[in-house]
Every structure is written in C-alpha cells, then in structure tokens.
C-alpha cells in the first residue's frame, strides 16, 4: 500500500511542476515568439504607428511638432512627455537585428543633437551585451524582443492577437495532457520498482504452527517430565486414593496426551475439559478405539471420561462421542 501512495504522490508532484512550467514559462515564451513574428510581418510604417500609440497611451507622450512635417510615420521621431520633456524614439523594425554599441551610440548622439533628455530604442530583434552597456551610458532605454511584446500586444489587430494567444494556450493544454500521462507512467514505474525491491514478508504456513492448547493444563503438561505410568489395575502413582488432587489429575491427562501423540494412527489427544478428551486420528474407529482406551484405562480415574472422536482428514465423518468404561 505504501508503494502506491508514494507513486501517487510522485505523479501529482511531477504533474503539478510540469503544469506550472508549461503555463507560466513555456506558454508565455511561445506567445512571445509568435507575437514577435507577427510584429515583424507588419510594414515598418505600421510598426512605427503602433509604437507611437503605445507610448502615447502608456506614458502620455505626444509627437513633437518638428516630427509632424509630412504627417507620415518615421522610424526615428521625437516625442514629448506631459511636462514637455523631449524624448528621441528609434524603431529598428525586424527580428534579424542584433544591435551593438555602435547603433546605441549613434542614437545617443542624435538625441543630444535634438536636445532630448533621453531616448528609447525599440526593436523585435535583440540588443547585445555591449549595446546594453552603451545604453546605460547614453541614457537610452532598451525595449527589444525580450520586453516589447507585452507593451505592443494590445495594439495589434484583435484577430491577430487572439490567434497568437489561443495557439499558445492550445499548445500548453496539449502538453499538459502529455505531462499527465508521463507522470502517471513514472508513478507506476516507481511503485512497481519499490515493490520489487521491498517484497512483502511471507507468513509461515498455518500447518507449521502448533495449534493453541485449549486448556492451561495441556500447556503445563508440555513442560512436565515424563511420568511413571502405573501398572494396570492401580490408580494412584503417588500413593493417593482414586480421587486425586488437580495437580495429579493434570499429570495423568498429560501422560495420556503424550502417549496418544506417539501412538501410530493417532495424531494427538487434547483435553478440552476435565472430563472430555478430543482425539485427532488417521485410523478408522475399529483400529483407533482400542488404542485410545488402552492409554486412558491406565488411570482408573480417567476410565469414564468422554472421548470426542474428530473426523479423519478428507472425510465427511461426523464427530462422535464415546466412553471406554461406564461407572
């Protein structure tokens, strides 16, 4: 039972960890990858317009007057914050961009020439490590492929956004089902492995265990030394009269039990009460009865006890009661 509890707990833990990874890490990564591809497929003018709208809605920036000369979107344009502070925005459209320090330094020079307080470089590509270091020195904020998707996602056409989100969700659901099957398989393997390495203890056969004695007298008799059997016709091996005390009667009964256990055709004799002897046997009644009475009649006080003859093994004989002698 413990092995299957362990297997179930392992399967639940593995499936839970897989689900967290698939929905919180893998799904977001798939959605970001597909979203960047969708942004890269836009015309550069549409991309610049989306960037302009996002900065206006998120930060309250507006297009500066000198950038509105012809009314068409540009890849580099000047915007102003709500306090009138100028900011230079540079759009590097395309996923193939690997921007280094040179492009960042060029933007830094342009924003100083325009009198801007700082700049924002936006691209679906990637800014290299040296480009990030140069951006810190040039007061340039970087929004590359690692950060741009959450910012621009709400400004894509609704059908494109829904297609990207649903595609990532369906993939996460499919992989979650696969993870559940894999977790159950792992739990089953672990449970079977535990059972094979920790086999259950095998109980001793019931036949090999000595049956419990029904009376304390027989248990005591097993530890008593062999008693001297009196000669036929006598009934007092310790010099007492025919009505012995309980200890002497126990010795008589123990002697009868030992003698019957050593008699061919008799399996055992157990005293159920002071006056009832149960006998298990293999011989039939005609062969067993004289042997039983021979041992019982050695003790005159036991001659009239009731003998319970149990059925022989493998037969449908009834239980019978008999007496070797009557009063």
Q: What is the pLDDT of residue 123?
A: 93
- Give the closest residue to 122 by CA, choosing from 101, 100, 103, 148: 148
What tokens appear for 178 in the block? 């696969």
Q: What is the pLDDT of residue 121?
A: 94
DSSP state of 24: I
Phi/psi at 320 (5° precision): -125, 150
Sign for the pseudo-dihedral over CA of 42, 39, 123, 120? positive
What tokens appear for 225 in the block? 């030394």
Quick check: helix, strand or coil at residue 89? strand
How far is residue 80's CA from residue 65's CA, in Å, rounded to a whole number? 9
Q: Are 30 and 171 in contact (CB under 8 A)?
A: yes
What residues does each domain of the chain span?
2-167, 210-323
Q: What is the pLDDT of residue 225?
A: 45
% the chain with pLDDT above 70 = 82
Q: Which residue in the block uniquely carries the two structure tokens 């280094």?
A: 100
Q: What global pTM score does this model have?
A: 0.50
Separation in Å, CA 125 to CA 32, 91, 303: 12, 11, 112
Per-residue pLDDT tens listing for the chain (327 residues): 667 787 788 888 988 998 999 888 888 888 888 988 998 899 989 999 999 999 999 999 999 875 545 555 678 899 999 888 999 999 998 888 899 999 999 999 999 998 899 999 999 999 999 999 999 998 899 999 878 888 998 988 888 888 999 998 898 889 999 988 898 888 788 877 777 776 665 544 444 444 555 555 444 344 444 444 444 444 444 444 457 888 888 888 899 999 988 898 898 888 888 889 899 988 888 888 888 898 888 888 888 888 988 898 888 888 888 888 876
DSSP state of 185: H
HSE (side-chain half, CA atoms, 13 Å) at 223: 4
**Cα Rg for the chain, rounded, in angstroms?**
50
Question: CATH for 2-167, among 3.40.50.300, 1.20.1260.10, 3.30.70.3270, 3.40.1350.10?
Answer: 3.40.1350.10
Q: What is the dihedral of CA 302, 306, 307, 311, to 10 degrees?
A: -170
Q: What is the pLDDT of residue 324?
A: 87
Residue 77: enclosing H or E segment and its boundaries? strand 76-80
């Amino acid at each position: 039972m413990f092995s299957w509890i362990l297997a179930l707990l392992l399967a639940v833990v593995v499936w839970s960890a897989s689900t967290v990874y698939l929905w919180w890490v893998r799904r977001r990564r798939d959605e970001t990858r597909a979203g960047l591809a969708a942004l890269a497929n836009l015309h550069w003018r549409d991309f610049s317009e989306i960037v302009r709208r996002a900065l206006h809605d998120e930060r309250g920036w507006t297009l500066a007057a000198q950038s509105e000369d012809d009314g068409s979107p540009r890849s580099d344009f000047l915007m102003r914050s709500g306090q009138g502070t100028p900011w230079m925005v540079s759009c590097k459209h395309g996923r193939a961009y690997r921007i280094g320090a040179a492009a960042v330094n060029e933007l830094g020079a342009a924003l100083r020439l325009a009198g801007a307080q700082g700049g924002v470089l936006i691209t679906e590509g990637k800014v290299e490590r040296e480009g990030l270091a140069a951006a810190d020195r040039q007061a340039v904020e970087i929004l590359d492929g690692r950060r741009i998707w959450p910012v621009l996602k709400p400004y894509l056409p609704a059908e494109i956004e829904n297609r990207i989100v649903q595609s990532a969700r369906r993939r996460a659901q499919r992989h979650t089902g696969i993870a559940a099957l894999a977790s159950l398989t792992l739990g089953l393997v672990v449970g079977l492995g535990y059972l094979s390495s920790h086999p259950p203890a095998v109980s001793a056969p019931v036949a090999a265990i000595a049956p419990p004695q029904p009376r304390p007298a027989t248990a005591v008799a097993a530890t008593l030394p062999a008693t001297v059997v009196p000669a036929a016709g006598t009934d007092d091996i310790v010099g007492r009269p025919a009505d012995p005390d309980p200890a002497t009667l126990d010795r008589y009964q123990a002697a009868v039990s030992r003698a019957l256990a050593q008699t061919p055709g008799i399996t055992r004799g157990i005293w159920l009460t002071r006056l009832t002897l149960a006998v298990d046997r293999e011989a039939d009644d005609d062969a067993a009865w004289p042997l039983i009475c021979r041992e019982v009649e050695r003790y005159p006080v036991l001659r009239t006890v009731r003998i319970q003859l149990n059925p022989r093994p493998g037969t449908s004989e009834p239980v019978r009661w008999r007496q070797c002698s009557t009063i």
